Each structure stands twice: as structure tokens, then as C-alpha cells.
Amino acid sequence: MELLSGNEAIAQGAWEAGARIGVAYPGTPSTETMEAFAAKSDVYAEWCPNEKVAVEVGLGASAAGARVIATMKHVGVNVAADPLFTAAYTGVGGGYVILAADDPGMHSSQNEQDSRFYGRAAHIPVLEPSDSSEALHFAKHAFDISETFDIPVLIRSTVRISHSRTPVDVGCREEHELIPYKKNPAKWVMMPAFAKPRRRDLDQRIKRLKTWVEDTPLNRIENYDSDCGIICSGAIYQYVRDALPHASVFKLGVTWPLPVESLKRFAQSISHCYVIDEASEYLSEQIHAAGIPIDTLPHPLPADGELTPMTIRKSFGEEDMPHCDAATDLPPRPPALCAGCPHRGVFRELTRLHAIVTGDIGCYTLGALPPLSGMDTTVDMGASVSMAHGFELALHDSEHRPIVGVIGDSTFGHSGLSSLLNTAYNRGAGTIAILDNRTTAMTGHQGNPFNGITLQKRPSREMDLVALVKALGIEDVVTVDPLDVHATRTALKQATTNDDLSVVIFRSPCVLLKKSFIRKAPYVVNSSCTACHACVSIGCPALECDSESGNVTISAVQCVGCGLCSQYCAFDAIHQVEEASK
């Protein structure tokens, strides 16, 4: 028995099922799944530059006969949707399981999405575990389902399943020989002449799945109260058990296709049957559409955000559960760039320039928050570069503020590269700042093509970012140390005042990377300080400002000695400890 997170359990299940290959792009809450899989014996695993590439690499390996797992967060499924939809037509060779980890409540995402809609739209079965033990077993089953029905299988988890640890009985690995590859264009070449019969074949496979799903033990009925029954899945099952212990429950483990006939019988056997779903109407819409009689909840549940046992109890007009009360008197902890983060100065300088900044997704999105307030837009990975081009197209005759797209190195590899190709191809202008902190910091320091570190630390290539940008025909490319304020200011000024498309690569390792950790002697403020607060304008959490006197001090615990604040001091009042004590 081990205590595993849902993510680790899915990796364990894939390993036990004999999966040989794992492919992923990181994204919370899915990331640890591939990290755990990569640490197993007898497997190959890699980070891909994005989720579309990952799903395609996985499909190739599956076609060649291997069992494969691909993992991503919910928004990654949008990126991977193109191969995903057609993979339902081709079907698989070796079993192919894809994890989509959703983030209801948006703990670390730009939107709330329900990946089960993808299963339904793409005709791909969806399994939803409710704890780590199920995560392991469902992952194992998913490979068999994939091979039996010749179809990829989606495992949908949510943040509470992915990140909660529950006891799991781990087993041994069952080796699976490669399923011999045979050339079969009618299955694998999806041009219309082959895709049309394959579409009809898909219908047959779905028909078989719909029969199978009525009896699979992955769904479970718990019969208690005949007056109140709940249909639910995933983490919500655990909340329902806590909140309404006497209710009967239809616990769905397969949420596409739904076991319509079994659900109908359950609903008819109960006086009042309800559907409880989180930040989504996925289940209730389908259950209504199937003509299954469902009651309206006594009090509606919130339409967005995570549910809790408490919100569910309240919707039934039940008393509070005192042990479930979360502390409400905790001090707020707004997110901030770390002390010493190399992204900080770039945003300070962009604000000084009054630039319109199209931002992107990564640690640097925090540059949007006060006091830096250095970002105008953030939408999806890669959008900084393409939206900067859009701003330029619309405003270049009327707006005299510089337009700057800001993107991280991993995000540039994910999809910024194709956006920059577009701007270069269409002779766009503006400035692109690539914040190359030598890692994919936001999701926990994964490797990417620009630091050349692979998931299993196998030999790799470190892409030459300057050469890559130049290869697009962009001549104005410079590399700058973002911890040098003068160099940063000069480079941005130069890039934003010429008529060309310019790229500035700000290169300095993430301060949390062990190797690069600056940890020089901290800085201190001396008596020349006039409390002008120019240093505070960079928003470093190491700088503390007395609310009454306005005096600034630097926390020796937090300061890592990057020296950015001293470069903003016009009164020579900030020095490193050794210098100050001279």
C-alpha cells in the first residue's frame, strides 16, 4: 500500500499496464504524471514542445504497436484537438491513453474548461476516477478499453484528484509486446476516400462501447435512501458521500458514453434524483437530453468554481458541517515574482516606456500586477506574439506607443515560434521580448528545447534561439542581461524606435534554479535614503516599506543580492552588505 497522488497513480497504472512511451507538455494540474512515469524502469518519456506534438508522437508510437500515455492540462487539449478528433477515426495500434487534467476554480489556469465535452465531441471514451486507487485501476483498464474498441481513451481528472494523496495498492508491471505493425492505409491515411468508411466504422465502435458501458463495473450504484439519489462522478462523488451520507448514488466512472439505460432505471427507482456537477452542465445536459427524469436542486449550486461538501449540503438546505469550515481569517498572500526574478526589470522598463504589452502565460504573467502593471493582455500560449502583430496592424497609423509582445522561452517553443513566423512572413513590425530564464519555471522547472534538458536527462540539443529567430529573416536580434537595467532600457528603446520587427532576448537563469541561485550578500538601505520609493516600484518582495515613516528596508532573508533595486536608486542609498560595512 502506498500513498499516491492521482497523478502518480495514473503513472503507476500506465506503467503496470505495460505502457512503454510517455509524451507530454507540462501544465498544472497534470505535470507530475509524466514526471512520475519518466522515473519508472523500462519506459521512454519526453517533454514535447506542445500538446499537439505530444499527441501526434503518441499516435505514431501507438500505430507502431506500443502502449502509450500522453498527459496535459485542460487547455492543452485545445492545442491537441486537431489530432485528437481524427485519432478517433484511425483508432489505435497499441493502447493509447490521454490524460486531461481540468482545473475547476482556476487555481493556475486562464479559464475553466470541462474536457469531457471533448470526449463527447471527438467520440472518445472518457474515464473519471474519484481517488488515487481508482486512478491507478482506471488507467490500467483504459489501455484494455483502447485496444478492445480500437480507440484512444481520455482520462479526465480535476485538480483535487490529481493532487490529493490517497492509499493505493500498487502492483507489478505486465509487459506487453509490440502489436506488429502492418501497413494499412484504409485505417491510417485519413483522406476522404478512407475517412468516410472509417467514420462509419467509428459509429460501430461507439455502438459497441454504448452496450459495454451499461454493465461495466467502472460505474457503480450505491443504494441507500430511496427518496434521494445523486448522479455524479470524480471528486464530486467524495463530496456527495461527505455531505449527503444517506443519499443513494450513481457513481459514474465512465462519463462518455453515458450508461443511459442504467441511469434511467436508477432515476426511476428513486423519488428525487439529482445531478451534481462542478463548474459545468456536462452531465445534466446529457441526462436531460436522454429524457431521464431529473429533479431541480432545492437551491442552485454555483455555476463556476469548485464545489465543496458544504456548498452541496447548503443546496439541500442542510445544516453546516463544522469540521468542514475553512479558516477565513488568514492574511492575504498576493502572488508576486520572486525576489531576484530576472523578469522584473523588463516590466518596470516597459511601463516606463508606456508600451502596449501583449503578454503570455508563465511566471512573467505576474508582471501584469501592481506595482509593475506592465501587461495589457494575456489569453493563451503564444498569443503575445500574434496579438502584438494584431495591435500593430490596427494601430500603426494612429498609436504612437510602442507595441511589445512578451513571451517566455518555453512558451515561445510551444507556439510563439509559429506566431513569429507569421509576423515575419507578413512583414509585421513591433518588438518581441523573449524572456529566456533557461527553464519552464511556472510549472516546476521542466526542460524545453532552449535549455536542452530532456525529461529523462538523455543527451539532447540546446536550440540556438538567436539563430532560430535570424533564420526567420529577422535581422534586429539582440541578447541582453535583464538584471542590467541600463542594458535593458537601451535595448528596449532601440528596438521600439526602429520601424523593423525587432526581437530582444532577455537571458538570465530563473533565480530558483539551484545552479544559478544568486544568493550573493543581501543589500541594505543606508541613511541617504529619501524614501522616494523608486526602488519599491519594481515590486520586489524583499523590499519592505514602513507604512507610517515610509522608510524602506530590505529583508536579509528574502534578498538574493540581484542588485536590481540599487540600480533604481538615484541617491546611492542601496549597497551590498560588505560594501555598506566598509
Cβ proximity to ligand TPP, 72 vs 122, nearer residue: 72
Nearest to ligand TPP of 233, 443 (CB atom) = 443
CA 398 vs CA 288, 351, 452: distances in Å: 52, 20, 42
Span from 5-13, 166-174, 297-305, 357-365 in contact with ligand TPP (CB under 6 A): 357-365
With respect to ligand TPP, which residue has the nearer C-beta, 81 or 179? 81
Shortest Cβ 73–ligand TPP spacing (Å)? 5
Please, what is the minimum distance in Å from the beta carbon of residue 25 to ligand TPP? 6
Order across the sheet with 272-275: list the strands: 220-222, 247-252, 225-233, 272-275
Q: What is the edge-to-edge ordering of all strands in the sheet holding 96-102? A: 44-47, 21-24, 68-73, 96-102, 153-158, 126-127, 254-256
d(CA 219, CA 232): 10
Angle at 373 between CA 367 and CA 376, to 5 degrees: 85
State yes or no: residue 442 binds ligand TPP (CB under 6 A): yes
Binding ligand TPP (rule: CB under 6 A), the pick from 363, 366, 433, 453 is 363
Based on CB atoms, which residue is closest to ligand TPP, 247 or 511?
511
Instruction: Determine which residue in the list 146, 238, 437, 566 makes contact with ligand TPP, applying CB under 6 A.
Output: 437
Handedness of CA 106, 341, 439, 421 (dihedral sign): positive
Q: How far is the CB of 506 from ligand TPP (least distance, A)?
A: 11
Closest CB 562 distance from ligand TPP, rounded Å:
16
Residue 288: count of CB within 10 angstroms of its CB: 13
The answer to whether the beta carbons of residues 146 and 96 sit under 8 Å apart is: yes
How many residues lie near ligand TPP (CB under 6 A)?
23
Q: Could you tell me the smallest distance in angstroms from the CB atom of residue 7 to ligand TPP?
A: 14
Interface residue with ligand TPP, options 233, 439, 488, 502 (CB under 6 A): 439
Other CB atoms within 10 A of residue 527 CB? 5
Question: Would you say 35 or 131 has its CB closer to ligand TPP?
Answer: 35
Residue nearest to ligand TPP (CB): 408
Among 315, 410, 419, 537, binds ligand TPP (CB under 6 A): 410
Closer Cβ to ligand TPP, 12 or 157, answer by number: 157
Contact call for residues 248 and 229 (beta carbons, < 8 A): yes
26 binds ligand TPP (CB under 6 A): yes
Interface with ligand TPP, residue 411, by CB under 6 A? yes
Whole-angstrom distance between the N-terminal and C-terminal Cα of the chain? 60
Nearer to ligand TPP, 94 or 367 (CB): 367
Least separation in angstroms between residue 80's CB and ligand TPP is 9
Closer of 19 and 53 to ligand TPP (Cβ):
53
**CB contact set of 387 (below 8 Å; sequence gap of 6+):** 358, 377, 379, 405
Q: Which of 83, 408, 449, 482 binds ligand TPP (CB under 6 A)?
A: 408
Nearer to ligand TPP, 26 or 83 (CB): 26
Among 361, 372, 474, 552, binds ligand TPP (CB under 6 A): 361
Number of neighbouring beta carbons within 10 Å of residue 190: 17
Q: Which residues, 65 to 94, sit near ligand TPP by CB under 6 A?
A: 73, 75-76, 79
In angstroms, the Cα distances linking 324 to 53, 122, 277, 327 are: 43, 39, 20, 9
CB burial of residue 148 (10 Å; 0-12, 13-18, 19+): middle
Name residue 554's amino acid.
Answer: I
Name which of residues 27 to 56 contact ligand TPP (CB under 6 A). 27
265 secondary structure, DSSP code: H
Shortest distance in whole angstroms from residue 538 CB to ligand TPP: 17
Q: Which residues of 57-77 are buried (b: 16+ CB within 10 A; e: fewer)?
A: bbbebbbebbbbbbbbbbbbb
* C-beta of 84 vs 441, nearer to ligand TPP: 441
Instruction: Find the binder of ligand TPP among 19, 154, 346, 381 (CB under 6 A).
Output: 381
Sole window of 243-251, 274-282, 361-369, 543-551 interacting with ligand TPP (rule: CB under 6 A):
361-369
Q: What is the DSSP string of 429-452?
A: -EEEEEEE-SSBTTTTSB--TTTT
Whole-number minimum distance, CB 389 to ligand TPP, in Å? 19
CB of residue 561 vs ligand TPP: minimum separation in angstroms?
21
Q: Which three cell numbers stand for residue 278?
A: 462542478
Which three-class secondary structure string do you get for 132-169?
Answer: HHHHHHHHHHHHHHHHHHCCCEEEEEEHHHHHCEEEEC
Closest distance to ligand TPP from the beta carbon of 441 (Å): 3
Smallest Cα–Cα separation from 355: which of 479, 495, 474?
495
Given 33, 130, 248, 440, the residue binding ligand TPP (CB under 6 A): 440
Q: How far is the CB of 103 from ligand TPP (least distance, A)?
A: 10
* Separation CA 310–CA 27 (nearest Å): 29
Among 213, 441, 535, 543, interactor with ligand TPP by CB under 6 A: 441
Q: Which stretch binds ligand TPP (CB under 6 A): 148-156, 223-231, 322-330, 402-410?
A: 402-410
Using the rule CB under 6 A, which residue among 12, 158, 284, 443 binds ligand TPP? 443
If the CB atoms of residues 76 and 91 are measured against ligand TPP, the closer one turns out to be 76
Task: Pick the piece of the chain touching ligand TPP (CB under 6 A) from 156-164, 437-445, 517-525, 546-554.
Answer: 437-445
In whole angstroms, the minimum distance from the beta carbon of 483 to ligand TPP comes to 15
Q: Dihedral through CA 245, CA 249, CA 252, CA 255, nearest 10?
A: -110
Residue 545 β-bridge partners: 552
C-alpha cell at 527: 541613511
Give residues in contact with ligand TPP (CB under 6 A). 25-27, 73, 75-76, 79, 361-364, 381, 408-411, 435, 437, 439-443
